[in-house]
């Protein structure tokens, strides 16, 4: 008996659905692509329960007559290909004929359509791959596709769907991409009778960029343009001082299709080389028009990856255009000064500035080291600490041997009298016959009984904070601070719904966030250890760190990642000068939780240990 069997069409369609449809956003993408190919000037998307219960996409395109509608749900039924040669001359977004049968195999779906110039429309339904009878009905010109109960007959796939806000976030991202690529189409998105966005047609994509990402970014857009024989490039880049913690704001479109391509990403990275800090990513909006014969768009089921005939040529074209755009820009970021810097600048022009400076010095808590310590979760010791004497031969530095409180007074006096004299605090102190010192404002060298440790101050403080935050959450202890003036954070649609989906987890780490308007959240409470960071910056860091894999692993993984980001942002930084008592308390905390702090939450070591034997061998004493 033969072991090889031909699969029934119902199973074939479910397999195809698994490749093409993985969540409600995939359905929306496929349906909008069909609407654009149909020449629609307006596309309306309506959702219920994040698209899990209902997705309805309506357009005013050319519509379908009864003959086309009868085979629309059949596999590989398409009007966009006639022969194999057409695969190398794709001018449409859809072409395989897989989307509608895949959707119909895993939902209760129907299509209502009326071709332009006809009197009546028609409707056809499909339930889990079982096609119903077509019937005549009244309808406006164009097409409406309705998808209900997605994955109702594939429970394994259904349980992987996320909360409604999370699914809306992904759908918002899909609509954002289409609206940027097709600015002359009117897009709307509604969820449970609430308008998410309404985007009338515009002449310039820069207007759409401003709608989604703010007028401040729009004002700084730098246009790029390049035309060659086989391709053309247009779009915008953004000055380096606008940057993100990941590459999500790199929008690349090929012949109207959103794509991801490693060669283009490399060109973007190279164009901004030397202009951005490590692990920061630029913002770009690029629109490529390439002869269809020069690119293969049939290499991935979702058509998000493509293959260029000559990748190196495309790389060089894009790199050249981006460099030219960045070089011709003279845009500079506004200089942001601290309150003290502002004061010092104004003191040149204003009489009595010394008195104002003294007042603001106290008001903004720059006066004492104990406030610096508190800001990073370290408590200032108030008893005087004697420091070892350090000889100095240079004229611009003076040795000190006096209590910390005396040093504070001298620093304050110097600032008030505008003296150029510097107060130098010795880097090493001795307490209980142990010596430690800070080097390069980043590492702490600690003497041990059998050698020494070289400690990464940021990594050590990060893991200490991680365990303290984790313990506070387990004990239901609050470490948030109610804001006197709540902070409004305006976000793009995807990030807005992502934050709403994370609201329960944010509350666990001391952030109270509420919806405030269409795409704005209001922050009413914020963790004390992050008071040096604004809420928008922290939320962007969270969204950059969380991946789809984290959501799949569940609540514990998400909360762990949030605590990790919180600890990283709250910890003292590399390059930050520490007071001796701050170093001492950091080391005391290290000793108190020694078993858990060998690595930071990112896996990096917190300290390197060198034994006395090893040192003696290195110096040829053994």
pLDDT digits (tens, 9 = 90+) for 181-195: 999 999 999 999 989
Gap between the Cα atoms of 257 and 287, Å rounded? 9
Query: What pLDDT sits at residue 418?
Result: 43
State the pLDDT confidence band at 400, using cuts at 50, 70 and 90: very low
Residue closest to 456 by CA, chosen among 570, 373, 575, 569: 575
Tell which residue, 529, 219, 515, has the closest CA to residue 376.
529
In the predicted model, is pLDDT for residue 335 greater than 70?
A: no
pLDDT over 90 at 386, yes or no: no
Q: Of 41-45, 394-398, 407-411, 542-546, give the range with the top mean pLDDT.
A: 41-45
Q: Who contacts 156 (Cβ-Cβ below 8 Å, separation ≥6)?
A: none
Residue 427 reports pLDDT greater than 70: no
Rg (CA), the chain: 31
pLDDT, averaged across the chain: 79
Our CA angle for 509, 514, 516, nearest 5°, is: 150
Q: What is the mean pLDDT of residues 287-293?
A: 89
Q: Between residues 451 and 229, which one has the greater pLDDT?
A: 451
Q: What is the pLDDT of residue 528?
A: 85
Residue 179 structure tokens: 């609206």
Band (472; pLDDT cuts 50, 70, 90): confident
Q: What is the arithmetic mean of pLDDT over 292-309?
A: 81
Distance CA 183, CA 200 (A): 8
- Is pLDDT above 70 for 486? yes
Mean pLDDT of 274-299: 87
pLDDT at 364: 37
Q: Is 251 exposed, middle or buried (0-12, 13-18, 19+ CB in 10 A)?
A: buried
Q: What is the mean pLDDT of residues 222-230?
A: 89
Model confidence at 205: pLDDT above 80:
yes
Low-confidence winner among 47-56, 61-70, 296-305 (lowest mean pLDDT): 296-305
Task: Name which of 377, 381, 421, 417 is nearest 567 in CA terms.
Answer: 377
Read off the pLDDT of residues 534-593 as tens digits, 9 standing for 90 and up.
888 888 888 888 877 676 667 788 888 899 989 998 899 999 999 989 998 898 888 887
- Domain 456-596 is in which class? alpha beta
pLDDT at 338 over 60: no
**Pairing of β 142-148 and β 108-114:** antiparallel
Q: How far apart are CA 528 and CA 487, in angstroms?
A: 15
Task: Report the alpha-carbon angle 137-99-121, nearest 5.
Answer: 10
Pick among 3.40.50.720, 1.10.10.10, 3.30.230.10, 3.40.640.10: CATH of 207-328: 3.30.230.10
Q: Does residue 278 register a pLDDT over 90?
A: no
How confident is the model at residue 476, as a pLDDT? 81
The model's confidence at residue 244, banded by pLDDT at 50, 70 and 90, is confident
CATH level 3 topology of 9-199: Heat Shock Protein 90 (3.30.565)
Model confidence band, residue 380 (pLDDT cutoffs 50, 70, 90): very low
Between 85 and 416, the more confident residue is: 85
Domain ranges of the chain: 9-199, 207-328, 335-361, 456-596
Q: Is the pLDDT of residue 298 over 50?
A: yes
Predicted confidence (pLDDT) at residue 395 exceeds the cutoff of 80 = no
pLDDT score at 231? 87
Whether residue 466 is predicted with pLDDT greater than 70 in this model: the reply is: yes
Q: Among 160-164, 170-174, 301-305, 409-413, name the one with the lowest average pLDDT.
A: 409-413
Helix (H) or strand (E) holding 459: helix 457-474
Which whole-number Å values give the CA distances from 19 to 99, 301, 544, 561, in the listed order?
10, 6, 26, 29
- Residue with more model confidence, 143 or 545: 143
DSSP lists the bridge partners of residue 573 as: none
CATH topology of 9-199 equal to that of 207-328? no
CA distance 345 to 406: 28
Could you tell me what percent of the chain has a pLDDT over 90?
37
pLDDT at 363 over 50: no
Q: What is the pTM of this model?
A: 0.72
Q: Which of 78-92, 211-225, 256-270, 433-447 has the lowest mean pLDDT?
A: 78-92
User: CA 219, CA 213: separation in Å to the nearest integer?
Assistant: 11
Cβ–Cβ < 8 Å for 560, 466: no
Q: How far, CA to CA in Å, does 500 sit from each of 186, 211, 315, 480?
A: 26, 20, 39, 19
Confidence category of residue 95, pLDDT binned at 50, 70, 90:
low
Q: Are 452 and 439 in contact (CB under 8 A)?
A: no
Identify the residue whose tokens are 């959103």: 258
Q: Is the dihedral of CA 154, 160, 163, 164 positive or negative?
A: negative
């Amino acid at each position: 008996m033969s072991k090889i069997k031909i699969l029934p069409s119902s199973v074939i369609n479910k397999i195809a659905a698994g490749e093409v449809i993985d969540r409600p956003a995939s359905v929306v993408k496929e349906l909008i692509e069909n609407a654009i190919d149909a020449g629609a000037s307006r596309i309306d998307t309506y959702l219920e329960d994040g698209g899990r219960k209902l997705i309805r996409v309506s357009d005013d395109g050319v519509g379908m007559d009864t003959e086309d509608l009868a085979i629309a749900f059949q596999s590989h039924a398409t009007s966009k290909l006639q022969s194999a040669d057409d695969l190398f001359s794709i001018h449409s977004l859809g072409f395989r004929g897989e989307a509608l049968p895949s959707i119909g195999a895993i939902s209760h779906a129907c299509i209502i359509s009326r071709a332009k110039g006809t009197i009546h429309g028609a409707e056809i339904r499909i339930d889990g791959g079982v096609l119903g009878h077509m019937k005549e009905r009244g309808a406006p010109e164009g097409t409406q596709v309705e998808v209900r109960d997605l994955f109702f007959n594939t429970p394994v796939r259904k349980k992987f769907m996320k909360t409604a806000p999370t699914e809306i976030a992904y759908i918002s991202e899909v609509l954002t991409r289409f609206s940027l690529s097709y600015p002359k189409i009117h897009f709307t998105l509604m969820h449970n009778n609430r308008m998410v966005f309404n985007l009338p047609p515009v002449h310039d994509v820069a207007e759409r960029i401003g709608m989604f990402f703010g007028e401040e970014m729009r004002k700084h857009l730098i246009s790029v343009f390049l035309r060659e024989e086989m391709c053309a490039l247009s779009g915008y880049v953004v000055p380096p001082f606008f940057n993100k913690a990941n590459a999500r704001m790199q929008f690349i479109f090929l012949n109207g299709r959103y794509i991801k391509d490693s060669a283009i990403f490399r060109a973007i990275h190279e164009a901004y080389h030397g202009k951005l800090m490590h692990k920061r990513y630029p913002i770009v909006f690029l629109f490529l028009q390439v002869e269809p014969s020069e690119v293969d768009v049939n290499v991935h089921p979702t058509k998000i990856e493509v293959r260029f005939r000559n990748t190196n040529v495309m790389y060089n074209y894009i790199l050249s255009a981006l460099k030219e755009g960045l070089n011709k820009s003279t845009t500079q970021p506004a200089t942001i000064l601290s309150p003290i810097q502002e004061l010092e600048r104004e003191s040149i022009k204003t009489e009595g500035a010394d008195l104002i400076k003294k007042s603001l010095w106290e008001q903004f808590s720059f006066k004492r080291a104990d406030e610096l310590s508190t800001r990073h979760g370290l408590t200032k010791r108030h008893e005087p600490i004697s420091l070892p004497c350090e000889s100095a031969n240079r004229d611009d530095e003076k040795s000190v041997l006096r209590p910390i409180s005396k040093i504070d007074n001298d620093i304050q006096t110097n600032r008030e009298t505008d003296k150029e004299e510097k107060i130098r605090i010795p880097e090493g102190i001795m307490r209980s016959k142990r010596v430690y010192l800070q080097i390069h404002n980043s590492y702490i060298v600690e003497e041990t009984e059998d050698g020494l440790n070289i400690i990464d101050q940021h990594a050590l403080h990060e893991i200490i904070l991680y365990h303290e935050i984790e313990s506070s959450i387990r004990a239901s202890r609050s470490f948030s601070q109610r804001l006197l003036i709540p902070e409004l954070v305006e976000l793009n649609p995807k990030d807005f719904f992502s934050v709403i989906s994370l609201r329960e987890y944010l509350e666990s780490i001391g952030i109270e966030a509420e919806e405030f308007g269409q795409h704005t959240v209001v922050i009413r409470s914020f963790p004390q250890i992050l008071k040096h960071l604004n809420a928008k910056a922290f939320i962007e860091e969270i969204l950059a760190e969380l991946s789809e894999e984290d959501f799949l692993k569940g609540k514990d993984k998400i909360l762990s990642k949030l605590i990790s980001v919180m600890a990283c942002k709250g910890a003292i930084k590399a390059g930050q000068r520490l007071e001796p008592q701050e170093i001492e308390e950091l080391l005391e905390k290290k000793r108190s939780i020694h078993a858990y702090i060998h690595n930071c939450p990112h896996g990096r070591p917190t300290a390197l240990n060198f034994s006395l034997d090893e040192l003696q061998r290195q110096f040829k004493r053994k």
